[in-house]
Amino acid sequence: MPAGAIVGVLHAGFYYSPDSLKAQLTRDGNERLRVYCQEKNIHLNQCGKLVVAKDHTELAAMDELVKRGKANGIPLQEITAVALHTGLTPVAPLCRVLRHGE
């Protein structure tokens, strides 16, 4: 199968500029497909997406993704240090919470 083949992934839409056609179509298409699957009793695995920064140099880019995601109406969940260290958030064991200036 070629690399660009359909794999059944619904893109979150937080990479796109909020005023762009891509953002609008992604947001509207996701909602329409979710409704369609629910109406037709088709299972849709809404597992979410984990986006992490490799180090402090990527934190500004992460802030921009959060800003775009909120502007595009994407439900976002921040992983706090408490959730990470108490096991409330099942993420890769080598992840840790970074903050600006840390």
pLDDT digits (tens, 9 = 90+) for 9-54: 788 888 888 889 998 998 899 899 999 999 999 888 887 788 888 8
Angle at CA of residue 38, ends 43 and 27, nearest 5°: 95
- Alpha-carbon distance of 87 to 57, in angstroms, equals 26
Digit-coded pLDDT (tens) for 48-67: 788 888 888 888 898 898 88
CB 59 within 8 A of CB 98: yes
Angle at CA of residue 64, ends 13 and 89, nearest 5°: 70
pLDDT tier for residue 1 given thresholds of 50, 70 and 90? very low
DSSP reduced 3-state for 56:
helix
Digit-coded pLDDT (tens) for 63-86: 898 889 888 888 887 777 777 667
Among 102, 60, 56, smallest CA distance to 81 is for: 102
Farthest CA pair distance, the chain? 49
Among 77, 79, 67, 78, smallest CA distance to 23 is for: 67
